[in-house]
Structure 1
Amino acid sequence: MTPVGPPGTSAAGPPYGGALVDRYGRVATDLRVSVTDRCNLRCTYCMPAEGLAWLPKDEVLTDDEIVRLVRVGVELLGIREVRFTGGEPLVRPGLTALVAGVAALTPRPGIAVTTNGLTLARRVGALAAAGLDRVNVSLDTLRPDRFRALTRRDRLADVLDGLEAAAASGLTRVKVNAVPMRGVNDDEACDLLSYCLERGYELRFIEQMPLDADRRWSRADMVTAEEVLASLRSRFTLTPLPGRGASPAEHFLVDGGPARVGVIASVTRPFCGDCDRTRLTADGQIRSCLFSRTEDDLRALLRGGARDEDIAAAWRGTMAAKPAGHGVNDPSFVQPSRTMSAIGG
C-alpha cells in the first residue's frame, strides 16, 4: 500500500481538518469502544479459567468520559458508527445509559453492541429503547457439551434465549459471530447456518486470530474461510455478493437469497486496505489497529483538562500513523501485549 495525500493532508504527516485520515488515504468512521475488560465467560481461546488481571476501577473510563470521547469523535472527527464491546459489555451496569447518551448526539451515529449474549434476554429491551440499533452475539456451537467445554460455563440456553429476545425487540439486525476451530467445532458450520436461517439471524464465520491470552494460536489449528465455505457448499448454494466496501465480511447469498452468510478472513484474506476503524479501550487508549503494539492515552488528556479540540488533534495523530496492514502474515509479526478481551473486538 502506497502512502497518499488525500485532500487537505500531507503524505508524511497527520491530516489537516476534521477527518481521521491516515497516510494511505483511509478514513476511519467506525469507532469500537471497549467499555470493560471483564467477562462472565472463560472461553478457552480467549482467557485462562481463572480469568485475567482486570483493570483497576479508577483506570476505567467513567460513563461521562466515554460519552464525551464519543461526542468528540462524532462532532469533530466524522465518526458515524459506534460499537460497544468488551470484555463483555453487558457486565457494565451503565451500558444502557451509554447507549442513550450516544443516541442523543448530533449527527446520531449508528449504535451496535457485540456480546456473548448471557444476559441479553433481560437487557435487550432497555437497550433497544435507549437507542441500540444492532447486536452481534457470539455463538460457536449449538451443542451444550461443547459450549460448556469451550466457555467453562453451562449457559448455552441463556445465549439462545438472548438471541430470541433480540430478534423480538425490534432491532434492525441480529447477527451471530462464530469462530471455527479445528477439531473443536469445525463440523458445525452447516448446522449453525441452518439454525440462523430458520430464525432470521445473519451468521458470520470469523477466522481465529492471534489475540489469545495463552499465546497458543497456531496457523495449523486455524480453520480458514475457504474451508468454511467448502463445508457450507456441501449443503447450500452460495452466491458471492459484490460491493463489500469497508465491511470486514465477504457476503454470500444462501440458496438464492434473500438470506446471506458472511466470512471474515482476517488472516488469509486481510482487508486492511479498506479498514475504516478506530478503537478506544476501556482505560482510554486509542489504537489505530486491532494488532497495534502502541496506543495513545486520551484518558490523561481528559483528566488533565484538555479541550475537545486537543483530544481530537491527538486522536488524528494516532490514526495518521496507522500502518498499512496488521502484519499477521509477516515473518516478523509479534502478537500485541493486550489480548482481545482487553482491546475490544
Structure 2
Amino acid sequence: MLIDKYSRRFNYLRLSITESCNFRCNYCLPNGPDCTTRKHELTLPEIRRVVTAFAMAGTKKVRITGGEPSLRKDLTEIIRTCKSVPGIEQVALTTNGYRLERDLDEWMEAGLDAVNVSADSLNEGTFQMITGDSRLPSILRGIDKAVERGLKSVKINAVLLRDYNASELPEFLEYLRDRNVALRFIELMQTGDNRAYYKRNHVSGQSVKEHLLDNGWQQTIRPITAGPAQEFSHPDYAGRMGLIMPYSKDFCDDCNRLRVSSRGQLFMCLFAEQHNDFRSYLQADNPEALIEHLQQVLQGKAESHYLHEEFTGSTRHLAMIGG
C-alpha cells in the first residue's frame, strides 16, 4: 500500500491526460487554456505503466481527468487500458460533457464505470455566462443517457458561485427528484490566478448542508474509495446531494487520493508547492522501481493543504490537474 507518515492510505488515482480544455469557465480558464502544446502529454504505454504501478501498490480506482479528457482522440483506448490493468476495479471519467451524448456508448464498451459531469447551472443563460459555451442541452441529454444506459455512477459537479448559481438550490433539488444521479456542490477554491474572483464568489457549503439537514436529508456513509464529498439522501428524491467543502475542519484527515499530471508529475496535494517528476520511470516496464520511488516521495506529503491560510501552492488553475 501507498501510505504516508500520517498513516493515510492511498487507493484512488486521479490521472490527468491533458491540460487542454475547450470551455472558458470564469472560475478556472476565463482566457482559455494557457498550454501552448500537447506533444508532451503522457502516451498510452506510459499511462499503462503508471496505472500498473499504482494498482500493484493497492490502487483500486482510477479517475481520468483533464483539462477536458475527451479532447484526446485516444480517450477510449485510455479507458480500455486502465480497465484492463489487474487490480483496478473502477474507471471513472470527469468531463465537461460536450462529447458525452455522442461517445458514451463507446466509452462504456471500453469499460467506463462512472462519470462526473461539470454543469454549474441548469439554466442555459447562466451556464453560458459561467462556461462560455452553449451546449448545456446536449450535456443534460448525455447525463440522462448515462442513467438510461445503466452506468454504475453518474454525478454532476457544480462549483458554488455567489454571483451565478448560489440561489439555484431549489432548481437543482427539483432536478434530482426523479433522476438517479448525485449532484455535488463544490466550494470555490482559491488558486494562483483567481484571488479577486474567489473573494467575490466564494460561498461556504455549510449553509447548503444546514438547509439539507433541516429539510429531511440524511448524511450517508462514503465507500472506502470515494472522493471527499459529504453525501446526503432523501426518501422523496431519486437522486443524491453532495458537498465538497475543502475549507472545512479536518478535510485532509482522510485523504485517499493521489494525482498524476498529463506530463508525468506526482501532485501529492492539489495545492502543493512542488511536484515530483517521475516520467523517467515510465520509459520501461519496471513498476517495482516506480512503486519504491512513490513510497519514498510520499513521506513528504504535507498534513494539510493549508487553504485556510490562503496558501495556493503552484496551482495556477484547476485545469492543470483536473481538481
Report the Cα distance in structure 2 between the residues aligned to 1:173 and 1:60, rounded to whole angstroms. Answer: 28
> Which position in structure 1 is the counterpart of 2:39?
58
**Any residues of structure 2 matched to 1:232-247 within 5 Å, and which?**
232=212, 236-242=215-221, 247=227
> Which position in structure 1 is the counterpart of 2:232?
252
- State whether structure 2 residue 17 is matched by structure 1 residue 35: yes
Residue 55 of structure 1 deviates from its aligned partner by 5.3
> Which position in structure 2 is the counterpart of 1:124?
104
Q: Deviations over 1:40-80 (max 9, x none)?
A: 1100000123x1321533321111211111111112x1111
Report the Cα distance in structure 2 between the residues aligned to 1:142 and 1:182, rounded to whole angstroms. Answer: 15
Report the Cα distance in structure 1 between the residues aligned to 2:111 and 2:285, rounded to whole angstroms. Answer: 29
Report the Cα distance in structure 1 between the residues aligned to 2:127 and 2:239, rounded to whole angstroms. Answer: 26
Is this contact kept in 1: 2:176–2:237, CA < 8 A? no
Residue 32 of structure 1 deviates from its aligned partner by 0.1
Output the amino acid matched with 2:302.
Answer: P
> Which position in structure 2 is the counterpart of 1:209?
189
> Which position in structure 1 is the counterpart of 2:303?
324
Identity of aligned residues (%): 34
Secondary structure class of the residue paired with 1:179 = strand
Output the amino acid matched with 2:13.
Answer: L
Report the Cα distance in structure 1 between the residues aligned to 2:34 and 2:133, rounded to whole angstroms. Answer: 20
- State whether structure 2 residue 203 is matched by structure 1 residue 223: yes
- State whether structure 2 residue 151 is matched by structure 1 residue 168: no
Report the Cα distance in structure 1 between the residues aligned to 2:298 and 2:199, rounded to whole angstroms. Answer: 29
Residue 224 of structure 1 deviates from its aligned partner by 0.9
Distance 1:161 1:193, change over 3 A: same
**Any residues of structure 2 matched to 1:135-154 within 5 Å, and which?**
135-154=115-134
Q: Deviations over 1:141-172 (max 9, x none)?
A: 11111111111111111211211221122210
- Aligned-residue Cα RMSD (Å) equals 2.1
> Which position in structure 1 is the counterpart of 2:71?
91
Output the amino acid matched with 1:229.
Answer: K
> Which position in structure 2 is the counterpart of 1:26?
8
- State whether structure 2 residue 247 is matched by structure 1 residue 276: no
Report the Cα distance in structure 2 between the residues aligned to 1:54 and 1:126, rounded to whole angstroms. Answer: 28
Secondary structure class of the residue paired with 2:183 = strand
Report the Cα distance in structure 2 between the residues aligned to 1:233 and 1:34, rounded to whole angstroms. Answer: 35
> Which position in structure 2 is the counterpart of 1:48?
30
Q: Which runs of 5+ in 2 are unaligned?
A: none
Is this contact kept in 1: 2:117–2:155, CA < 8 A? yes
The TM-score, its normalising length taken from structure 2, stands at 0.92
Output the amino acid matched with 2:128.
Answer: R
Distance 1:299 1:231, change over 3 A: same
Report the Cα distance in structure 1 between the residues aligned to 2:199 and 2:179, rounded to whole angstroms. Answer: 33
Secondary structure class of the residue paired with 2:19 = coil
Is this contact kept in 2: 1:249–1:263, CA < 8 A? yes
Report the Cα distance in structure 2 between the residues aligned to 1:314 and 1:232, rounded to whole angstroms. Answer: 44
Tell me which moved more, 131-140 or 57-66: 57-66
Secondary structure class of the residue paired with 1:31 = strand
Report the Cα distance in structure 1 between the residues aligned to 2:206 and 2:200, rounded to whole angstroms. Answer: 14
Residue 209 of structure 1 deviates from its aligned partner by 0.9
Distance 1:162 1:108, change over 3 A: same
Residue 213 of structure 1 deviates from its aligned partner by 4.0
The TM-score, its normalising length taken from structure 1, stands at 0.87
Report the Cα distance in structure 2 between the residues aligned to 1:314 and 1:174, rounded to whole angstroms. Answer: 34
Distance 1:212 1:160, change over 3 A: farther
Tell me which moved more, 155-164 or 123-132: 155-164
Is this contact kept in 2: 1:295–1:318, CA < 8 A? no
Report the Cα distance in structure 2 between the residues aligned to 1:269 and 1:158, rounded to whole angstroms. Answer: 38
Secondary structure class of the residue paired with 2:308 = coil
> Which position in structure 2 is the counterpart of 1:308?
287
Output the amino acid matched with 1:319.
Answer: L
- State whether structure 2 residue 268 is matched by structure 1 residue 288: yes
Report the Cα distance in structure 2 between the residues aligned to 1:186 and 1:283, rounded to whole angstroms. Answer: 35
